[in-house]
Amino acid sequence: MLIEAAEVVVTNPDRNFVTLRLTTDDGLVGLGDATLNGREQAVVAYLAEHVAPLLIGRDAHAIEDTWQFLYRGAYWRRGPVTMAAIAAVDVALWDIKAQAAGMPLYQLLGGASRTGLLAYGHASGRDLAELSDSIRALQAAGFGAIRVQTGVYGVANDASEVWDTAAYLRDLPGVFEAVRAEFGPSLPLLHDVHHRLTPIQAARLGRALEPYDLFWLEDCTPAENQEALRLVRSHTTTPLAIGEVFNTIWDYRSLLQEQLIDYARSSVTHAGGISHLRRILDLAALHQIKSGMHGPQDISPVGMAAALHLGLAIHNFGIQEYARHGERTNEVFRQSFTFSDGLLHPGSAPGIGVTLDADAAGRYPYQAAYLPIARLRDGTLHDW
Ligand code: GCO
Ligand code: MG
C-alpha cells in the first residue's frame, strides 16, 4: 500500500488548524494534526514544501521507517515545527494502518487498559463568584476533574496582560481555600502556573497549596533547565506536571529519570506523534510518572483523537485535558470519540475515528492569530 497523495489543509472554524491528509493507492485516507498555535504557517511550509514530496510512493505501512527517515534524514533535529510535522505524518500513517486492519487504533497499540479516560475541563473567573459558576457549569457538563484559574491567564481577553508575581503568590492559596470550602476535599483540582515563577517561587507556591491537595501544579517554572525542578521538588509534595512545550524525549530526560515530575504533559501533536510520545511515556512509566496529555482548543480533534487512542492503551495514563471545541470545529472535523460521566473514550470506528469535511474546512480561511504576551508592571516582558 503506497502513499499516493499528501495534502496540507489549513482551516479556521473557531481557530486555526493545520491538518495533513495522506491518501493511499488503496483509497484509504489518514489524518494527522500539525497545529502549532501562533506559528501554524511554519509547519504548513515544512510539510508542504519539504515533507509531502518525499512521502509520495513510500510504503504507508512503514511507520517506524518513515519516522526515522523524517527525523534523521532531515539532519536538523528536534524543535516544535519539525516534531509537529513528523507527528502529523506519524498519526496519519497510524490512522491508515488501523483502517486497513479494520479496527480502532488503540487495538493496535495494545488494546484498552481501562474503560475510559479521566478528563479535566477549564474553569476560570475574574473573581470567586465567576469562578464558582464556572466550576459548577463544568460539573453540570459531566467533568469530574477541574483546572482552576482566576484573575490571570485563562481570562485575559486582550493581547497583552500585566503580571504581578507577588500578588499571584499572595492571592492564589486563598482561591483554593475558597474552592475547597465550597466544593469539598475530594474534587480533583488542577492549576496551571504557565511558566511564570522562578524555582524558589514555585517551591513556595507548591508548599502553600499542599493543604488544598491539588491533583497537579502545572508548568510551575520554565523547564528548559530541567535541573531547576530539583529545587522545587525538594520543598513540596504537591504533584508537578510539565511538558506541553516539550517535543522530544530529550527535553524530559532528567525530569523523568530523577522523578522530578509526576505527569508528562506533551501532546501527540507536538511530540513527534504516537510513535515518539509512546517512547516518552514508556520512559516515564519506569519512574512511576503518568501521562497528562495537553488538550487545549489548539489541539485539533484529530490530535485529540490520537491522544485518546494512545491514552486508552498505555498502562501509565494519568489524566486527559479536554478543553472542548466549538460548533464550527465540530462541523469541519467529524469525531467518533465520546465524553460521558467524566470519561473520554476514542470510540470503535476504524482508525482514529475522525473525518475532515473539506467543503466545511474551505468555508473558514486561515487568519493570522498569536498568543497573548505578559509584561510586568515596569514593562519587562514576562512568560505568558
Ligand atoms: C494548557 C495550555 C494552553 C496553552 C495553549 C498554547 O494547559 O492548556 O497551557 O492553555 O496556553 O495551548 O497554545
Ligand atoms: Mg498549560
Q: For ligand 1, pick from 194, 267, 270, 300 the residue to mutate: most ligand atoms within 8 Å of CB.
A: 194
User: From residue 14, how far is each of 32, 46, 110, 358, 367 by CA, in Å?
Assistant: 19, 24, 34, 16, 11
CA of 329 to the centre of ligand 2 (A): 21
CA of 192 to the centre of ligand 2 (A): 5
Residues paired with residue 161 on neighbouring β-strands, in sequence order: 374
Its sign, for the CA torsion 362, 363, 365, 371, is negative
- Tell me which of 194, 270, 294, 345 is the catalytic residue: 194
Q: Could you report the average pLDDT of every consecutive run of 10 residues in the chain (384 residues)?
A: 98 98 98 98 98 98 98 98 98 99 98 98 94 97 96 52 91 96 98 97 98 98 96 98 98 97 98 98 98 98 98 98 97 98 98 98 97 92 93
Q: Is 194 among the catalytic positions?
A: yes
Whole-number pLDDT of residue 156: 41
CA of 245 to the centre of ligand 1 (A): 9
Enter the C-alpha cell of residue 85.
Answer: 510535522
Q: Which ligand ends up closest to the CA of 220?
A: 2
Mode of pairing for the β-strands spanning 29-33 and 17-24: antiparallel
Q: Which ligand ends up closest to the CA of 120?
A: 1
Angle at 297 between CA 15 and CA 348, to 5 degrees: 115
Whole-number pLDDT of residue 161: 81
Report all structural domains of the chain as residue ranges with CATH numbers, in order of start.
3-104 (3.30.390.10), 107-348 (3.20.20.120)
Whole-number pLDDT of residue 150: 84
Ligand 1 atom with the shortest distance to the CA of 321: 8
Whole-number pLDDT of residue 154: 46
Whole-number pLDDT of residue 115: 98
Is 321's C-beta closer than 6 angstroms to any atom of ligand 1? Answer: yes
Q: How far is it, in rounded angstroms, from Cα 152 to Cα 127?
A: 10
